[in-house]
Structure 1
Amino acid sequence: MPDRSEPVASRAIQGAADLDIDATTIAALRERLPAVADDVVAAIMAEVPSYAGALTGRRGANIRHAVQTALDNFLELASGSASQVADLGAGADAAFELGRGEAANGRSMEALLAAYRVGARVAWRGWSSAAVESGLAAETMAKFAELVFAFIDELSATSAAGHADALATQDRARQRQLERLGRSLLEGAAEDVLLADAERAGWIPPTMLVAVLLAEARAHAVRQLLDPTTLLLADNLPGAPATESMAVLLVPAEADTSRAHLLQLLRGMHAVVGPARPWRDVRASFARTVRAVEVMPATGEPIDTERCLVELVLSADSDAYDDLRERALAPLCELPRSTVARLTDTLRSWLLHQGRRDAVAEDLFVHPQTVRYRMSQLREHYGDALSDPRQVLELTVALALR
């Protein structure tokens, strides 16, 4: 609602309202008011497409009331009362509520402004004829016209404020609903809860969603570049690192190309991109990003969890991995530490390159003969284990990470 503690009438209205209109003319104008109001409503219906045939029922009653109130308020201004000139009163209140109502019904402010323009023209035509019949002086008639259009400008501005206020209120409510939906997704809520939250938020679920974990300071800017149905959560993320202000984006992902585009958008910032999952199961994508933050070092570039699955798998049970690695390297435990390091690197490369000596030599920056010598040492310590599929599997997994 407008702030009634301060004058809301403009200087234009205050100046134009300094009219010398006698009581007889005011009475004639007031007598013409019902007919002028009907003409205004009829003209709006005929000339503004958005209102064609729409001024019926509750909406029509609201608009007719707003027109009647505005015209009555105008005559109060034209009568020259100082207190009335200082405050548009009921006319402003009705205009503000009219703007709110049109926004609530999904109608644009452009249509309402067009209706105001039509209303001003028709009201002036109806009242100017009554003023002429009453013998109003030409100078006063000019001021009278100025007052009509200044008054309509004030009311249209007040309606625009009401329209904007309603849209802002709607946007805040929808953002709260979208946040509630996002939290339900991350908390693994039941399907009926998710569908109800999505319907309340007016959110059409995509087939797949990808979770992106990134600094809260960057999240809002990144979201502006993504699909408008992307969800953003920034406070009290379940399981997110407590030492950082993190946000998560839940991004629609319909194809592999969208993932490549997403990673391109994130270049130059530390972010973690989870796997694509059915929208109801995006919690799993979010959990993967949180895990990747714990496992993968920050490089200032986005981390694609699809490219670090080995690290994620091998770090899933760190105690088990440490035990496996200790057992795999047990045959070398009596050797000097430097020798163990060289042989471990050689064995790892030999396993990963499937025994191709030249490839191992290139990987380790050594001569192929050096590789042959080291492998002979390893065979002395491991014996038949290097030919046993199960042992080779354990050694490959144990040495997969440097």
Structure 2
Amino acid sequence: MAMDLAAALEAMHAQLPTLADDVVAAIVDEVPSYRDAFSGPMGETISNAVELALGGFLTLASRGRTADLSSAPAVEGSYQLGRGEARSGRTTDALLSAYRIGARVAWRELSSTAVAHGLGAEVLADFAELVFAYIDEQSAAAVAGHTDELATTGRVRQRLLERIAHHLLRGSPVDQVAAAAERAAWTPPSTLTAVLLPESQVRQVLARVSPATLTVVDPPELEDGALLLVPDAHAHRRASLLRVLADRGGLAGPARPWLEVRASYDRALRARAAGFELDTETHLVELVLDADRSARDDLRAKLLAPLADLRPGTAEKLADTLRAWLLHQGRRDDVAAALFVHPQTVRYRMGQLRERYGDRLDDPETVLALTVALG
């Protein structure tokens, strides 16, 4: 029987070139995604690789049940094949189908040779078990390679994307930002919008915005929460972004040319510090008035100096009346309605104010300054 097995293995080695071609042909026929990949010179290269893998199997088969499948040189080849398939954009489904087809064709032809050399049922059973164990080992190695390549590629690209955000927020030179974008294969958008949100909401928001969105790691000046830079969420698209952020504790800064996104981020930070939510653009007046709170307080104190010698309660009422008078452009009934007082009360208070301010209440620059100070 040993002589029969040796003769059978020798015959199998002799048929390897033909068997390798048959395996490749079957894979091309049954797995459409491999038709182009296996054509031309690449087909010959793959056929040679299949032949080497089958030769490795026959070497193991000559050792019988003691063969260590995991140490076969073809295992490393399968691992690298899996990595290459990931880089080519093919899935593990196609890869595993190819291995199953290869196992089927190899077993059919090699078993025919074994039978022709008089190998018994027990030997054939062992041989079959070894064939499919060998293919399982190769398949597992290929899947591991595919998975590792995707994970590595994903990590590398994420680091490259993070570098773009780093340059944008730190005001790096344009050529550095552009080079970082090119290395990451990230196409610069027309605009970027800074979005602040709780870290627990990042995944849900990312699933609903552009896949080119940049996730910023450890953004400057942000003590808690997360920062996303969302591309091309300007004009009518802003409404869609705001709908995504609604009820998620998010806050969107203004859309800015992509190289100027730091301005969007700064405004979002100021708006959040002021307690605003969702859309910074609905709070522009407040943000302008509070851009330099100390300066505004000084301006207010300077312009209300004519009231400084009055009792605090009286000074406050007159300041409120002056504010309403400015905002309602002197329409007495509207001022009275806003203050919940009688129009005659408004007339009386405005008389007091004119006594203290005189003609300055008709001076455009003074009116502007008072509007800002009391706004």
User: Quick check: TM above 0.5?
Assistant: yes
Report matched runs for 1:240-279 at 5 Å: 240-241=221-222, 244-279=223-258
Q: Give, as a single letter, the amino acid of the residue that structure 2 aligns with 1:51.
A: Y
Secondary structure in 1 matching 2:67: helix
Question: What is the CA deviation profile of residues 52-106 of structure 1, one whole-angstrom value per residue up to 9, with x for unaligned ones?
Answer: 2534788557634542343133224433545424635222221111101111233
Distance change in 2, residues 1:364/1:209 (3 Å): same
Choose 335-344 or 251-260, whichever is displaced more. 251-260
Choose 120-129 or 311-320, whichever is displaced more. 311-320
Distance 2:174 2:3 in 1: 71
Distance 1:58 1:186 in 2: 48
Distance 1:26 1:323 in 2: 97
Distance change in 2, residues 1:54/1:222 (3 Å): closer
Q: Which residue of 1 aligns with 2:18?
A: 35
**Which of 155, 162, 172 is the aligned partner of 2:138?**
155
User: How far apart are 1:391 and its partner, in Å?
Assistant: 1.3
Question: What is the CA deviation profile of residues 127-166 of structure 1, one whole-angstrom value per residue up to 9, with x for unaligned ones?
Answer: 1221121112245434533443343233223211211110
Distance change in 2, residues 1:348/1:58 (3 Å): farther
User: How far apart are 1:325 and its partner, in Å?
Assistant: 0.8
Q: Give, as a single letter, the amino acid of the residue that structure 1 aligns with 2:88.
A: N
Q: Which residue of 2 aligns with 1:289?
A: 268
Distance change in 2, residues 1:47/1:186 (3 Å): same
Distance change in 2, residues 1:59/1:376 (3 Å): farther
Distance change in 2, residues 1:321/1:62 (3 Å): farther
Secondary structure in 1 matching 2:208: coil
Q: Which residue of 1 aligns with 2:303?
A: 328
Choose 385-394 or 174-183, whichever is displaced more. 385-394
8 A contact 2:61–2:67 mirrored in 1? no
Q: Which residue of 2 aligns with 1:5?
A: none
Task: Note if 1:144 corresponds to 2:127.
Answer: yes
8 A contact 1:32–1:130 mirrored in 2? no
Choose 142-151 or 283-292, whichever is displaced more. 142-151
Distance change in 2, residues 1:62/1:359 (3 Å): farther
Q: Which residue of 2 aligns with 1:74?
A: 57
Distance 1:45 1:265 in 2: 45
Query: What is the aligned residue count?
Result: 374
Question: What is the CA deviation profile of residues 8-33 of structure 1, one whole-angstrom value per residue up to 9, with x for unaligned ones?
Answer: xxxxxxxxxxx998333233223322
Distance 1:113 1:93 in 2: 16
Report matched runs for 1:120-131 at 5 Å: 120-131=103-114
Q: Which residue of 2 aligns with 1:384?
A: 359
Q: Give, as a single letter, the amino acid of the residue that structure 2 aligns with 1:228.
A: P
Distance 2:155 2:45 in 1: 25
Q: Which residue of 1 aligns with 2:181?
A: 198
**Which of 204, 207, 211 is the aligned partner of 1:221?**
204
Question: What is the CA deviation profile of residues 307-360 of structure 1, one whole-angstrom value per residue up to 9, with x for unaligned ones?
Answer: 222222223333332221111101111101111111111211221111223322
Distance change in 2, residues 1:140/1:367 (3 Å): farther
Secondary structure in 2 matching 1:232: strand
8 A contact 1:177–1:201 mirrored in 2? yes
Distance 2:56 2:359 in 1: 102
Distance change in 2, residues 1:62/1:380 (3 Å): farther
Q: Give, as a single letter, the amino acid of the residue that structure 1 aligns with 2:111.
A: S
Secondary structure in 2 matching 1:331: helix
Choose 140-149 or 310-319, whichever is displaced more. 140-149
Question: What is the CA deviation profile of residues 238-288 of structure 1, one whole-angstrom value per residue up to 9, with x for unaligned ones?
Answer: 3x24xx223211112354332222222222344332111111221221122
Q: Which residue of 2 aligns with 1:3?
A: none
Q: Give, as a single letter, the amino acid of the residue that structure 2 aligns with 1:159.
A: A
User: How far apart are 1:228 and its partner, in Å?
Assistant: 0.7
User: How far apart are 1:232 and its partner, in Å?
Assistant: 0.7
Q: Give, as a single letter, the amino acid of the residue that structure 2 aligns with 1:329.
A: L
Q: Give, as a single letter, the amino acid of the residue that structure 2 aligns with 1:342.
A: K
**Which of 325, 334, 355 is the aligned partner of 1:350?**
325
Distance change in 2, residues 1:76/1:245 (3 Å): farther
TM-score (ref. length: structure 2): 0.90
8 A contact 2:307–2:356 mirrored in 1? yes
Q: Which residue of 2 aligns with 1:89?
A: 72
Gaps of 5+ in 1: 1-18
Secondary structure in 2 matching 1:22: helix
Secondary structure in 1 matching 2:70: coil
Q: Which residue of 2 aligns with 1:8?
A: none
Secondary structure in 2 matching 1:256: coil
8 A contact 2:60–2:69 mirrored in 1? no
Q: Which residue of 1 aligns with 2:373?
A: 398
8 A contact 2:193–2:256 mirrored in 1? yes
Q: Give, as a single letter, the amino acid of the residue that structure 1 aligns with 2:23.
A: V
8 A contact 1:21–1:79 mirrored in 2? no
Q: Give, as a single letter, the amino acid of the residue that structure 1 aligns with 2:262.
A: R
Distance 1:88 1:65 in 2: 20
Please provide the CA RMSD for this pair.
Answer: 2.6
Gaps of 5+ in 2: none
Secondary structure in 1 matching 2:15: helix
